[in-house]
């Protein structure tokens, strides 16, 4: 039946990779094989079919309304996503673009349709896997923090305590002996015990900085930067301005950890000679900015590519904030973090 219709450019239309259709009086008067194929029909089966039959039930009324809006010329053309109904009953997501025109003296809608089910599915899968990745990063952050705190405490309290007892006992031996040979050994032992105590303290401090708990965030950052500069010979500068002292512990920990990871990245990747860390509060937001003068980073908001960047962004996100790492105006990398000072109670 459709073969008799005077479809312009028939060859092109019939071989088109896009679905093409003409609807008149709510009925398909022409479809090419691509369009009918998307819904599982032959062009012959679909020609003469009512428009309602081609879409899922919940979209039928809207589809008919859209058809009449175009036929009446109220809107000359509409592009939208709709869900067609396959011959076998399953939904097919279509991107359609229909315009009104006169066909054999009567108003009609001619349209182009593309099957985007695959894209929609892929987008959904992508969204789900991004979400999973975020959950994983959140879990890793929490687990790591708990583990670090626990190990730091055990190391400090238990191992540190044992070493201190050892040291005291060795001191007692030192006091009781006159034997010069034994005195030498005891002196060596004492030095070793003291070195062990210092090592345990510095490891547990690294794991869970006590200075963060005792002296607060600015002091902890200052200590971390001093250590960083000593180790890497990269000059560092800390600016703390308009800093609201009342920052909750999870926020302090997050900022500290973010700064630690950023400094590690600078040491590892940046080839920088200088780093500037700024900490301030503005409009009830806690801000951290870390700029280096190294080789820079391609503009990016942390995605699934890099676990370090993702984990930093996740720490900020968990507290209702955001974090980006971009190329600085004068080269280098620039990290910007912003976290609201108060919990949001939506």
Ligand X SMILES: Nc1ncnc2c1ncn2[C@@H]1O[C@H](COP(=O)(O)OP(=O)(O)O)[C@@H](O)[C@H]1O
What residues line the site for Mg ion (CB under 5 A)? 265, 308
- Is the Cβ of residue 2 or residue 311 nearer to Mg ion in the bound state? 311
Give the span between the Cα atoms of 335 and 278, in whole angstroms: 10
Q: Site size for ligand X, by CB under 6 A? A: 15
Which of 306, 324, 336, 338 is the binder for ligand X (CB under 6 A)?
306
Q: Which residue is nearest to Mg ion (CB)?
A: 308
Looking at beta carbons only, is 138 or 261 nearer to Mg ion? 261
Considering CB distances under 5 to 8 angstroms, the limit depending on partner class, which of Mg ion, ligand X, none binds residue 314? none
From 83, 103, 80, select the one nearest 92 (Cα to Cα). 83
Residue whose C-alpha is closest to residue 70's, from 41, 45, 102 = 102
Which residue's CB is nearer to ligand X, number 127 or number 268?
Answer: 268
Which listed residue (7, 54, 109, 297) binds ligand X by CB under 6 A? 297
Strands 274-282 and 235-241: parallel
Residue closer to ligand X by CB (options 102, 298) is 298
Beta carbon nearer to ligand X, 3 or 231: 231
Q: What is the 3-state secondary structure (H, E, C) of 275-337?
A: EEEEEEEECCEEEEEEEECCCCCCCECCCCCCHHHHHHHHHHHHCCCEEEEEECCCCCEEEEE
297 makes contact, choosing from ligand X, Mg ion, none, with CB < 5 to 8 Å by partner type, with ligand X
Q: Indicate whether 295 belongs to the interface with ligand X (CB under 6 A).
A: yes
Residue 219 binds ligand X, judged by CB under 6 A: no
Closest CA to 261 of 335, 155, 327: 335
Binding flag, residue 274, ligand X (CB under 6 A): no
Residues in 312-341 at the binding interface with ligand X, rule: CB under 6 A:
333
Distance CA 274, CA 289 (A): 14
Binding to ligand X by residue 34, rule CB under 6 A? Answer: no
Residues 6 or more apart in contact with residue 36 via CB below 8 angstroms? 19, 42, 43, 45, 46
Query: Does 200 participate in binding ligand X (rule CB under 6 A)?
Result: no
Q: What's the closest the beta carbon of residue 147 comes to ligand X, in angstroms? A: 19
Comparison of 63 and 311: residue with beta carbon closer to ligand X: 311
Nearer to ligand X, 114 or 307 (CB): 307
Pairing relationship of beta strands 285-292 and 27-31 according to DSSP bridges: unpaired
For the chain, the maximum distance between any two Cα atoms, rounded to a whole number of angstroms, is 122
| 219 vs 221: CA distance, rounded Å | 5
Nearer to Mg ion, 64 or 307 (CB): 307
Stretch that binds ligand X, among 109-117, 153-161, 247-255, 301-309 (CB under 6 A): 301-309
Give me the count of residues in the chain.
346
Q: How far apart are CA 91 and CA 54, in angstroms?
A: 10
Among residues 23, 71, 255, 270, which is the contact residue for ligand X, using CB under 6 A?
270
Task: Report the nearest approach of ligand X to the CB of residue 237 (Å).
Answer: 16
Q: Is the dihedral angle over the CA atoms 110, 115, 117, 122 positive or is it negative?
A: negative
307 is a contact residue toward ligand X (CB under 6 A): yes
Here the tokens at position 92 are 């097919």
Residues binding ligand X (CB under 6 A): 265-266, 268-270, 292, 294-297, 306-309, 333
């Amino acid at each position: 039946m459709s073969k008799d219709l005077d479809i312009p450019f028939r060859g092109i239309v019939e071989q088109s990779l896009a679905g093409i259709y003409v609807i008149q009086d709510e009925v398909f008067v022409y479809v090419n094989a691509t369009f009918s194929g998307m819904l599982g029909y032959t062009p012959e089966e679909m020609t003469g079919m009512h428009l309602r039959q081609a879409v899922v039930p919940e979209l039928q009324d809207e589809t008919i309304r859209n058809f009449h809006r175009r036929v009446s010329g109220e809107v000359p053309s509409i592009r939208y996503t709709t869900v067609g109904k396959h011959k076998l009953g399953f939904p097919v997501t279509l991107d359609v673009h229909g315009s009104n025109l006169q066909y054999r003296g009567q108003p009609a809608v001619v349209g182009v349709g593309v099957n985007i089910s695959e894209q929609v599915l892929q987008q959904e899968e992508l969204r789900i896997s991004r979400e999973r990745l975020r959950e994983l990063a959140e879990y890793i952050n929490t687990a790591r923090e708990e583990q670090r705190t626990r190990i730091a405490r055990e190391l400090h309290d238990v191992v540190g305590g044992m070493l201190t007892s050892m040291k005291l006992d060795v001191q007692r031996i030192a006091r009781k002996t006159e034997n010069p040979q034994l005195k030498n050994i005891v002196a060596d032992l004492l030095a070793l015990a003291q070195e062990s105590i210092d090592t345990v303290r510095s490891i547990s401090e690294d794991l869970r900085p006590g200075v963060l708990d005792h002296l607060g965030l600015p002091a902890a950052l200052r200590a971390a930067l001093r250590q960083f500069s000593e180790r890497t010979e990269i000059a560092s500068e800390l600016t703390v301005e308009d800093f609201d002292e009342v920052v909750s512990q999870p926020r302090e920990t997050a900022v500290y950890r973010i700064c630690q990871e950023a400094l590690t990245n600078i040491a590892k990747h940046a080839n920088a000679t200088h780093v500037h860390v700024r900490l301030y509060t503005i409009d009830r937001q806690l801000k951290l900015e870390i700029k280096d003068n190294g080789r820079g980073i391609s503009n990016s908001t942390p995605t699934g590519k890099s676990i370090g960047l993702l984990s930093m962004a996740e720490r900020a996100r968990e507290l209702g904030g955001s974090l980006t790492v971009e190329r600085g105006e004068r080269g280098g990398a620039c990290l910007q973090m912003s976290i609201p000072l108060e919990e949001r109670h939506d």
